[in-house]
Structure 1
Amino acid sequence: MAEFISASIDKIHMGERLRPIDQGYVEAIAASFEERGQISPIMIRSTPAQNKGKTPYTLIAGGYRLSAARLLGWAEIDAIVVAADQVEAQLLEISENLYRNELNPLDRAIFVMKYRELWEEKHGKIDKNRNLKNSKGHDDPSVFASGKDLAKEVQERLGFGPETYKRATRIGLNLQPAMRQAVRGTEAETNQALLLKFAKLTPDMQVKAAAALKESGDPQSVLALTKPPKPEKTERDPETEALAALRKAWGQASQATRNQFLEEIGLSSFQEAA
């Protein structure tokens, strides 16, 4: 059961968030608060023992709104108190952020993968090789027996289409921590196509690419460096190619065809003499 309250800001513990706080966005929300006031309440849960009782509430969702209120020096903020344990609180945080559509492609992938971790915590690890012996060979083997349940739940609960879910999962699963950190603040952070290209690199290549990206800040040029060099083109020699084609044709021809060819080029007498 949820309860709407006006909560003392200094009684709310923010904790670690799944994405870094953008100070520019905080200032934009603060400006909106000054003009129109707070429209949407934040979401918190009761944690009486947090910080030895000094912060009896812990933030679930609304980190930017809480930061904006603190920036303005507000003493209180509108909040909804919900009954939730730590895992369910994180699921609620993910759900609200995705529903509000405030996430860039990188953060969306991170949130989806965090949702996966929490789901596995409740339902068990997803094993891609599980029950393969019992598979009947159709297009829906048990490779994703539990994974498909997760995909369906994410798509239904978070409003994702299957393609969005697949791409977010591909980025979240394959993008290494060093690469995630390196793309922050670059074009790639908001460009799903670039993130997918980085995610295709091997872990070792991602570490090297991350170091290069920190130096240059240009994802496009870093990706260009990861491509293998193109083989040098050798000049075509028509005479050599023609000779090779003739040799191949001669090797594939029957004896009768060979004799006919020799006769056509005037070498039949030579053949008889031989």
Structure 2
Amino acid sequence: MAEFISASIDKIHMGERLRPIDQGYVEAIAASFEERGQISPIMIRSTPAQNKGKTPYTLVAGAYRLSAARLIGWSEIDAIVVAADQVEAQLLEISENLYRNELNPLDRAIFVMKYRELWEEKNGSIDPKGGRPEKQGNDYPVFAKGRELSKQVQNRLGIGAETYKLINRIGQNLHPALRQAVRGTEAETNQALLLKFAKLTPDMQVKAAAALKESGDPQSVLALTKPQKPEKPARDPDTEALAALRKAWGQASQSVKDQFLQEIGLSRFQEAA
């Protein structure tokens, strides 16, 4: 059963988060805290042995609120203590983020993939046979467990099955190096660009990640990944004119050829000679 408490901030272990903390967002929440106070509690779980007992609570959800409280010097924060193991805690964290719908397309794909990974740990593999029908698309929920997971995520995000497929396509196919490289670029918030990157081969994605770190421009990097068309040889007007004459001569009737030879001062017999 969950318990509502006022927790000492220095007793809460933050732990690793699935996405980096945006300091600007922390400052905005901190300003709201100072103006209106804390509206919704964070979620924590009991971990008595964490850091040798120094942090008997571990954050489950509410990293931005906890960071904002620390920023303005609060000593305590409203929290709900939930009974959850590490896997259940991560599922709760992801669920809250999905529910709050504050994720950009990149984070949304990462969170959904992590949610799937943890969900399979508790419920078994979505596709125990390995491999899915190609015609169904990437990770389409054709199996019973896949449909169950799909419905959970769709309900959390308020999205349809097709959008769920696209999120999976990004999450499953985007190379880790490229995930890091798109941070802070236009692609991080542009699902269409992420899908284009996800279509590249793993080798091409690694190369694209390196190029993106240099340029910071996803559009130009994608342009470089497109197959280059061979350059056309330079045009030679004389060669083209000669080819046109030969073609016309071959298609002309004998009477037209004779007429042409007469016009240029030659005859058929002279030509033969």
**TM bracket, shorter-chain basis:** 0.7 to 0.9
CA shift for structure 1 position 158: 4.8
Aligned to 1:50: 50
Aligned to 1:62: 62
Closer, same or farther: CA 241–230 of 1 in aligned 2, 3 Å? farther
Alpha-carbon separation, structure 2, partners of 1:207 and 1:239: 52
Aligned to 2:106: 106
* Equivalent AA in structure 2 for residue 150 of structure 1: L
SS, match of residue 185 in structure 1: coil
Percent of residue pairs bearing the same amino acid type: 83
SS, match of residue 229 in structure 1: coil
In the TM superposition, 1:107-186 aligns within 5 A as: 107-127=107-127, 129-130=129-130, 144-186=143-185
* Mapped pair 1:9 → 2:9: yes
For these two proteins, the number of residue pairs brought into alignment is 239
What per-residue deviation string (whole Å, max 9, x for no partner) do you get for residues 75-111 of structure 1? 0001111111111111110010111111000000000
CA shift for structure 1 position 156: 3.3
Alpha-carbon separation, structure 2, partners of 1:114 and 1:184: 18
TM-score scaled by length of structure 1? 0.79
The worse-fitting range, judged by mean Cα deviation, of 123-132 and 195-204 is 123-132
What per-residue deviation string (whole Å, max 9, x for no partner) do you get for residues 201-224 of structure 1? 000000000000000000000000
What per-residue deviation string (whole Å, max 9, x for no partner) do you get for residues 160-214 of structure 1? 3212211111100000100000000001000111000000000000000000000
Aligned to 2:266: none
What per-residue deviation string (whole Å, max 9, x for no partner) do you get for residues 8-60 of structure 1? 00000010001000111111111111111111110111111111111111100
Alpha-carbon separation, structure 1, partners of 2:131 and 2:181: 38
Show structure 1 runs of 5+ residues with no match: 247-274
Closer, same or farther: CA 241–190 of 1 in aligned 2, 3 Å? farther
SS, match of residue 5 in structure 2: strand
Matched-pair contact (CA < 8 Å) for 2:141–2:147: no
Show structure 2 runs of 5+ residues with no match: 252-273
Matched-pair contact (CA < 8 Å) for 2:98–2:156: no
Closer, same or farther: CA 231–37 of 1 in aligned 2, 3 Å? same
* Equivalent AA in structure 1 for residue 210 of structure 2: A
Closer, same or farther: CA 240–179 of 1 in aligned 2, 3 Å? farther
Matched-pair contact (CA < 8 Å) for 1:11–1:55: yes
* Mapped pair 1:75 → 2:53: no
Alpha-carbon separation, structure 2, partners of 1:131 and 1:114: 19
Alpha-carbon separation, structure 1, partners of 2:60 and 2:33: 20
* Equivalent AA in structure 1 for residue 153 of structure 2: V
Alpha-carbon separation, structure 1, partners of 2:226 and 2:78: 52
Alpha-carbon separation, structure 1, partners of 2:34 and 2:20: 24
Matched-pair contact (CA < 8 Å) for 2:10–2:75: yes
Closer, same or farther: CA 120–223 of 1 in aligned 2, 3 Å? same
Aligned to 1:84: 84
SS, match of residue 143 in structure 2: helix
